[in-house]
Amino acid sequence: MSLNVLGLSGAVSHDPSAALYIDGKLVAAAEEERFVRDKHAKNRMPYEAAKFCLAQANIRPADVDVVAIPCAPISLFGPARWHYARRYASAPDRALDAILNGNRRFRRYKKRIEWCLTQLGFDLRKTLIQPVEHHLAHAASAYLCSGFTEKTAILGIDGKGEYATTFFGWGENGNIHKIKEFYDPESLGGLYGALTEYLGFDMLDGEFKVMGMAPYGDPARYDFSRLAKFENGELTVNTDYANVIGLKRYKEKGKGYYFSPRLVEWLGPRREGDVADEPYIHYAASIQALFEKLSLEMIDHYLGDILRETGKIAFAGGCALNVKLNQKIIARPDVKELFVQPAASDAGTAIGAAAFVSQQRGAPVEKMEHVYLGPEYTNEDVIAAIARFEARRGIALDWHGIGDVPERVANILAAGNPVAWFQGRMEFGPRALGNRSILGCPSVPGVADRINAQIKFRERWRPFCPSMLDTVGPQMFANDHPAPFMTFTFEVSEAWKTRVPEVVHEDGTSRAQVLRREFNPRYYDLMRELEKLTGNGVVLNTSLNRRGEPMICSPTDALEMFYGCDLQYLVMQDVLVRKAT
């Protein structure tokens, strides 16, 4: 008899998602934002995502044995709620609520999950809902999906779960052991998010932009050490400046931020606009440097012995998507291999909670080799979507079926044209990895600027990333560390900097996907055809969406996006759509 475990995330009011394990195999996973076309799908439940997972596996709600949720009640007798209350004594309403009613968020979330399950057709009288602590779900999403068989160091860093912000532990034989947690407001993720807001971006969305801006600045120009320190095994964030709540927040135009007026007095007015200018580029460099320094100190303190023993580390939580930190972790002499959960943010806790429960119930989960876990569409689906689009717009599209798709698209790319590339099952997590991508030829001068200005409509200083053949990665980076998910940056060798300049960032690194053919044959073959034409088995790859929108899910979404930007070519499965030039 099979074990079916459905994981549902969304406990912290953003990034709801669903994931389904059947007998330890991850058969489907998707984020709600892709279906409802609302980035991060804030304050929503993963209804459409769960509906997709059940349909993909062809099972009914009654066939689900357990619903795992990444949020759990936190005991009054542990340190978490008391720490929160003491450190936020300046907001007595919040402090007292933590002590007297500290599981309010869990109860509210559980009620919303029950409502969602009812809408999906679950009978709550027969449905087992199993809570998993938020950071334990993150830890499980990293360790259990890593495939590591040796004793493994486990790291989790994000903004905040129930109360915990940081997790240190170790895994062995499928079991997770907690070493230490830090609690709000001691949060590096929260601190980085507060500075993200100060630098003019949205928390939970703009941290990547701060990381992209950092290489343009000088981290030594400003000393940010006053913001946080790690001493004697304890992290302390200075709440005079950041991770603030209540009356201590800086307010502007009716909005409150997670930094204080004192930060503005120190650093000057909050940044606005899209320009990477002084002094803000130096502020970005300084917060990135402080984040890396403190993270590495904490890793050494709590996980150093395990790393020196086996060299394996698994990492999740939103901060695990900080690829510059990951580059520094890999560079440690005691690290042999780092696995970062590709959906490291809260969307990935659906996988983590479900994996944890599956493992507990005797169905060990498989190594996560790829993220192609979402919906897939046939050529017939594509043609039907084109017909509906033509009828709705009252226009006739220039489209036709094509053969030898990799060869045909490689020729279009080599001629200097970006291509919208839509094929196979949609990716899970924030990275486009060859199924919902905008592609360009990285040896064509100016192609990155063209995609930024005419298609993505995003800040010009943000980098673009390469996908490459597994035969190319060791040459381009002089490093054979596995990199299937774009979760690391590597130093680019001098020869390759001139061969593919459009995917090399300001600091001489690239955030790469190194692809093995077995996991995406068509995308691999496209890069092989491009290698025949240009000598480089590398393609510029960015997500198929416009600024502020979720990644494309369906052919209809792709057509709407295509006709809302200056792209000239859209390939969906074996169908090519062109615009008149």
Task: Indicate if 40 belongs to the active site.
Answer: no
Contact assessment for residue 204 and residue 40, using Cβ atoms and an 8 Å cutoff? yes
Pairing of strands 25-31, 152-157: unpaired
Q: Which residues contact 539 (CB under 8 A, 6 or more apart)?
A: 413, 439, 440, 441, 442, 466, 467, 468, 526, 527, 530
DSSP string, 288-346: HHHHHHHHHHHHHHHHHHHHHHH-EEEEESGGGG-HHHHHHHHHSTT-SEEEE-TT-SG
The residue type of 21 is Y
At 269, list the tokens: 């007015």
Q: How many CB atoms lie within 10 A of CB 177?
A: 11
Task: Tell me the Cα Rg of the chain.
Answer: 23
- d(Cα 517, Cα 489) in Å, to the nearest integer? 21
Closest CA to 23 of 314, 361, 509: 361
Number of H helices, E strands in the chain: 19, 24
- d(Cα 459, Cα 417) in Å, to the nearest integer? 20
Burial of 88 (0-12, 13-18, 19+ CB in 10 A): buried
Contact assessment for residue 311 and residue 336, using Cβ atoms and an 8 Å cutoff? yes
The residue type of 177 is H
Which residue pairs from 329-335 have beta carbons closer than 8 angstroms and sit at least 24 positions apart in sequence?
329/296, 329/299, 330/481, 330/488, 332/296, 332/299, 332/307, 334/304, 334/307, 334/308, 335/307, 335/311
Which residue of the set 14, 134, 138, 505 is catalytic?
Answer: 14
- d(Cα 60, Cα 62) in Å, to the nearest integer? 5
Closest CA to 288 of 543, 491, 489: 489
Residues with catalytic function: 14
